[in-house]
Structure 1
Amino acid sequence: MTLTINEDLRAYIDPLTEDEFTALERSLLTEGCRDALVLWGDLLVDGHNRYSICQKHEIPFNTIQSQTFTSLDDVHLWMIDNHLGRRSVSDFQRGVLALRKKEIVSSRMAQAPAKPASEESAAVDATAKSEREPPWNREAVARSARMSSATLGNIEKIQKTAAPELVNAIKSGVISINAAAAVASLSSEEQIAAVAGGKKELRQAARQVREARLPPKPELPPPPENASADQLEIFRLAQVVAELTDERDLLKKKVQHLTIALSEARGGQ
């Protein structure tokens, strides 16, 4: 059977890594192609890797026709939902897919024609619509991707401003989403230089960006020239408190950096 391959559709989901592709090929050679390839007419929707391996090794395969697709948007939404349910998809990939779904659904909702109706029927339609369609705000999209709204916001920022080299560093696990969002605020040249410097340079760049965002600390006003002993003592104690506060904040930063480094090290295992 010859199927039609749409290259944009094939590239819509991140490709398998070399190790993942090798593992899939080994599985197909050992067990055969157990899952049917999903088609829309003769267009291959799901199973591009399995199809290429089966063609290469002449492995028999089955296909199944989807009766629900009416447009490429339907195909894209099905692909997104299918991959969001897989455990092997990384947090970054899930966020990207969820944002794509938000874009498609929001566009459809905006283009839906308004139907004139009585006040009573309009209220019924609005209630039914609210039950069918989730509110596509950031919180709802984050829930669909099983992540926090803050993480999804960082992924959205990365998509808009990150250099391709920085995105590749995220996908390969060299840098966390949180740290990458900070580095993405730098110029493209600075991002590329940080990626070229490796994990240590990326962490340093993220740390510098975060520290630059901190508001300047107010200086203590000096005591008046004719200050009393009590006023001088209050000023001295205020200086001690300020020094202790700085020391506390420094320790908190160290703990935060160590926590991020530990999280990235565990993610790379």
Structure 2
Amino acid sequence: MTITINESLRAYIDPLTPDEYAALERSLLAEGCRDALVVWGDVLVDGHNRYGICQKHGIAFNTIQNTTFRSMDDVHLWMIDNHLGRRSVSDFQRGVLALRKKEIVSARLAQQQAEKTAAELAGASDTGTETGRQSETEPPWTREAVARAARVSSATLGQIEKIQKTAAPELVSAVKSGVVSINAAAAVASLPSEKQVAAVAGGKKELREAARQVRESRMASKPRPLVEAAPIDATPEEMEIYRLNQLLAAVTEERDQLKKKVQHLTIALAEVRAGRSGSAE
């Protein structure tokens, strides 16, 4: 059959790394193409890398039609769900994919609600609409639901959103390749674009240092609680309140210092884990 390559679909999912592509090529040469390529009509949906390698080496392959697709959004949702279930997908990639799914689902629900409202205003509410029933059975995607789909915490999902919105392309590439952790990249992403690029150019140590400086500047910018001096003619009760306020200020300062240490330790642990996973691959 004739297979059509849709470039937007090919680029919808992050490409394989050179090592992953080489491993796939070795596997296909040794074992053949065991999994069928998924198509929608004549458009290739899943298996772009396998298709290219099979064409290159003359390896036989099979195709399977997915008859459930009704629109390109259906195709995108299927691709997202398919990749969210794969072990090789990083936390950052899963977060990006889950956020894409949220956009599609939220847009569909909004459209369904608009169609339902329009039908009710037109006096057609007594007939009922399919879109209205669908919107009632599919709950909106909350941040917690998106985080669960991506298998990351809500905090990590927020960091991924920040990276998507404010990170320079060079910093995004560094996160995808595992050079910098999501946590550190989110901190660096708050810097001007030129400083982000400079930090990436400096390598892992420069990125860690930039992230550390951002966090410390945030902690330093937080106003410390002020304790007004006790009046000269303070009563015993007023002196006790003054003493307690001093104690509270000291405990708050100690808490902030501990939070700073925990942040540094968390980043260091994430970097060590990232280094181990990278060496294992």
* TM-score, length-scaled by structure 1: 0.85
* Code of the aligned partner of 1:153: G
Q: Find 1:199's aligned residue among 182, 201, 204.
A: 204
- Evaluate the alpha carbon distance shift between residue 255 and residue 108 of structure 1 in structure 2; reply closer, same or farther with a 3 A threshold: closer
Deviation at 1:99, TM superposition (A): 0.9
- Evaluate the alpha carbon distance shift between residue 244 and residue 101 of structure 1 in structure 2; reply closer, same or farther with a 3 A threshold: closer
* Code of the aligned partner of 2:156: T
Q: Which runs of 5+ in 2 are unaligned?
A: 277-281
Match of 1:68 in 2: 68
3-state SS of paired residue (2:139): coil
- For 1:108 and 1:225, how far apart are their aligned partners in 2? 67
3-state SS of paired residue (1:263): helix
1:181 aligns with 2:196: no
**Once structures 1 and 2 are overlaid, which stretch shifts more, 177-186 or 54-63?**
177-186
Superposed CA RMSD: 3.0
Write out per-residue CA displacement over residues 141-175 of structure 1, whole angstroms, 9 at most, x where no aligned residue.
11111222221111111111110011011111121
Deviation at 1:260, TM superposition (A): 1.6
1:27 aligns with 2:27: yes
3-state SS of paired residue (1:268): helix
Match of 1:262 in 2: 269
Match of 1:59 in 2: 59
Match of 1:253 in 2: 260
- Evaluate the alpha carbon distance shift between residue 4 and residue 170 of structure 1 in structure 2; reply closer, same or farther with a 3 A threshold: same
Match of 2:109 in 1: 109
Q: Find 1:130's aligned residue among 104, 115, 136.
A: 136
- For 1:193 and 1:100, how far apart are their aligned partners in 2? 29
- Evaluate the alpha carbon distance shift between residue 245 and residue 110 of structure 1 in structure 2; reply closer, same or farther with a 3 A threshold: closer
* Code of the aligned partner of 1:23: A
3-state SS of paired residue (1:50): helix
Match of 2:174 in 1: 169
Write out per-residue CA displacement over residues 89-125 of structure 1, whole angstroms, 9 at most, x where no aligned residue.
1110011111111111111222221133798987xx9
**Once structures 1 and 2 are overlaid, which stretch shifts more, 214-223 or 43-52?**
214-223
Write out per-residue CA displacement over residues 49-85 of structure 1, whole angstroms, 9 at most, x where no aligned residue.
0001101111110000111112211111110110011
Q: Find 2:155's aligned residue among 150, 154, 173.
A: 150
Deviation at 1:188, TM superposition (A): 0.5
- For 1:213 and 1:121, how far apart are their aligned partners in 2? 57
3-state SS of paired residue (2:39): strand
* Code of the aligned partner of 1:44: L
Write out per-residue CA displacement over residues 7-34 of structure 1, whole angstroms, 9 at most, x where no aligned residue.
1110100000000001100111111100
Report if the CA contact (8 A) 2:109-2:135 is conserved: no
* Code of the aligned partner of 2:67: Q
% identical aligned pairs: 73
Write out per-residue CA displacement over residues 215-246 of structure 1, whole angstroms, 9 at most, x where no aligned residue.
1224555567899xxx99x9999889967875
Q: Which runs of 5+ in 1 are unaligned?
A: none
Q: Find 1:212's aligned residue among 212, 217, 225.
A: 217
- For 1:236 and 1:149, how far apart are their aligned partners in 2? 39
Report if the CA contact (8 A) 1:45-1:75 is conserved: yes
- For 2:244 and 2:139, how far apart are their aligned partners in 1? 55
- For 1:33 and 1:256, how far apart are their aligned partners in 2? 46
- For 1:148 and 1:207, how far apart are their aligned partners in 2? 22
